[in-house]
Structure 1
């Protein structure tokens, strides 16, 4: 599992983004990827690297080590979404980061998820529950950034983050093409 944890090392991605002079943020990159995958898209590694390069929007292109890390993120995310163990890691700052930074990153993640999800065409309409999830993500994307370090804010953040994790798994389950049988999931 060491490879999986490296794929979700926010600090490593943050360092890469800074080195590349990126206009984007790591949480946006992962949210977009999770959105596309959840909507049923599948990207070859070369296609994902092209998408990632656009999302990073850096002054320079990712080097070989960065491309390997980006591919690991793609593969680990798809594996987690496809797994029936309900284990999905969101690429967000660690619990030691200030609550304001984590909340802002979760908002960026949700906004980018909506963008990635919206790029994938679907033949069938979404369920009412799935539509509700997308509306919730839009609200989460408008997160406050002037949060103080308090136990109440910490609890609220953890609850919202857990909801996002489970909601993504619901959307992934609902939106997979018929050839990819997935058991239906529910948030309730």
Structure 2
């Protein structure tokens, strides 16, 4: 069975990072991935190259790792392009403390905004007012306090902030890809390494 169709979650990708000697959280890269897919069509090859660069390796150490990393991109693209609006950022789940989850959201937001900033002003001129506001609000998210206690109130606040990030990513994607759900159906098979 191919790993490329497996559901990739935060822990799976973090474990893949660890296999490559990286203690980094995948949240930052997921933010970059979401913005890059929204602003321009990030190819599977370009994504694998960016991940390897971040991990400090020339290529994934084995085929399952490559498939997992490509599956992450595919899953994100499918969710962003879906009419079901079921996209979820790749963030630490309930197994992590609220502080770790807040840190993950902050890193995701920083990655997302980095790609948006790198794109410059040209794409922004075509954005709707709601998208502009959503992106501006994300800047505030990048500065959130992450040293928070596990409490119902903090959990509700974090959920609302995560929902804002999720909606901003979907809004960016749908505005840049109008009327084209499931934009890309190629690259199902990862490049083989010998």
The TM-score normalised by the length of structure 2 is 0.81
For 2:107, the equivalent position in structure 1 comes to 108
Pairwise mapping of residues 22-171 of structure 1 onto structure 2 (< 5 A)? 22=22, 24-39=24-39, 41-54=40-53, 56-58=54-56, 61-63=59-61, 64-120=63-119, 122=122, 125=125, 126-171=127-172
Q: CA RMSD in A?
A: 2.3
What SS is found at the alignment partner of 1:144? coil
User: Does the CA contact (< 8 Å) of 2:4 and 2:68 recur in 1?
Assistant: no
User: Does the CA contact (< 8 Å) of 1:20 and 1:61 recur in 2?
Assistant: no
CA shift at 1:150, angstroms? 0.6
CA distance in 1, matches of 2:45, 2:36: 15
Q: CA 1:165–1:5 in 2, change beyond 3 Å: closer, same or farther? A: farther
For 2:189, the equivalent position in structure 1 comes to none
Q: CA 1:33–1:127 in 2, change beyond 3 Å: closer, same or farther? A: same
The TM-score normalised by the length of structure 1 is 0.83
CA distance in 2, matches of 1:159, 1:127: 22
User: Does the CA contact (< 8 Å) of 1:28 and 1:112 recur in 2?
Assistant: yes
CA shift at 1:166, angstroms? 1.6
